[in-house]
């Protein structure tokens, strides 16, 4: 048995996708409906900047297939602070903002930290303790996107594993890569698409990424990725992979290229 692999893009409202990705004549209000039939997941960036209304989550739920998943970025007011141990009220506000209206379509929450945020073991553990496991009867999954080299540390990796929080793995990025498996799922953000490649990546690069995602789903850690401890789960592991940044116009094509390879 292997874990489920979800592949998608960041957001769905992007004018430059109209034509290269969205068919001519498709109305903006139907873009989510269309995108969710081409991908299996979408990472929502807007929740990083401000709260959505519960009605928005209900609408997203109704417009997407039953097996579709949304991952949400946690509020920047939670992560962009000097003392993370004081983030409890901000976390509660975000969790209570209506996200559980997504029901089974709610994927992991991405708590993204600024690249200048350094690893402070005591304070970061205090933050992990604040992350709730359940809300409104729904299990919650948490992932942390840390982007300072000080987090490439055994202590951090073991800490994330103890709390069952995934460390988001940066792919083809300037940020440090921490490819360790620390939760029942893994979360990757691929950031290397290029304008001159029709699918954002070369055929060989997409083949390689598809292979890495399969390795993760089987409970392993890809040998050509940078891990701190390289401890494997040896259990089926769900995988969430998003083609983000790079040359954004090519990101849907890259995501669909990965989906095609994994289905074959």
Domain spans of the chain, in order of start: 5-263
Q: Which CATH architecture has domain 5-263?
A: Alpha-Beta Barrel (3.20)
Put simply, whether the predicted model's pTM sits higher than 0.95 gets the answer: yes
91: CB partners within 8 A, 6+ apart: 74, 78, 130, 131, 132
Share of the chain above pLDDT 70, in %: 100
pLDDT of residue 212: 98
Paired residues of 170 in beta bridges:
189
**CA distance linking residue 116 with residue 82, whole number of Å:** 11
**pLDDT band (50, 70, 90) for residue 1:** confident
């Amino acid at each position: 048995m292997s874990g489920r692999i979800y592949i998608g893009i960041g957001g769905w409202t992007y004018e430059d996708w109209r034509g290269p990705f969205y068919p001519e004549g498709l109305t903006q209000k139907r873009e989510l409906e269309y995108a969710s039939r081409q991908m299996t997941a979408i990472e929502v960036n807007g929740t990083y900047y401000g709260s959505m209304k519960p009605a928005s989550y209900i609408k997203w739920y109704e417009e997407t297939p039953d097996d579709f998943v949304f991952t949400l970025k946690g509020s920047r007011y939670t992560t962009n602070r000097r003392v993370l141990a004081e983030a409890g009220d901000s976390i509660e506000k975000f969790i209570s903002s209506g996200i559980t209206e997504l029901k089974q379509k709610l994927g992991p929450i991405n708590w993204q930290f600024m690249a200048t945020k350094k690893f402070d073991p005591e304070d970061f553990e205090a933050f992990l303790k604040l992350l709730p496991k359940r809300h409104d009867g729904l299990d919650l999954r948490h992932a942390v996107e840390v982007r300072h080299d000080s987090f490439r540390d055994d202590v951090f990796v073991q800490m994330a594993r103890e709390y069952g929080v995934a460390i988001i793995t940066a792919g083809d990025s300037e940020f440090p890569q921490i490819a360790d498996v620390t939760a029942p799922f893994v979360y990757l953000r691929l950031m290397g698409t290029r304008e001159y490649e029709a699918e954002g990546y070369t055929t060989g690069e997409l083949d390689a990424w598809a292979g890495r995602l399969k390795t993760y789903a089987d409970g392993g850690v890809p040998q050509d990725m940078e891990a701190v401890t390289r401890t494997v789960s040896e259990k089926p592991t769900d995988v969430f992979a998003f083609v983000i940044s790079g040359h954004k116009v090519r990101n849907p094509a890259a995501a669909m290229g990965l989906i095609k390879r994994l289905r074959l």
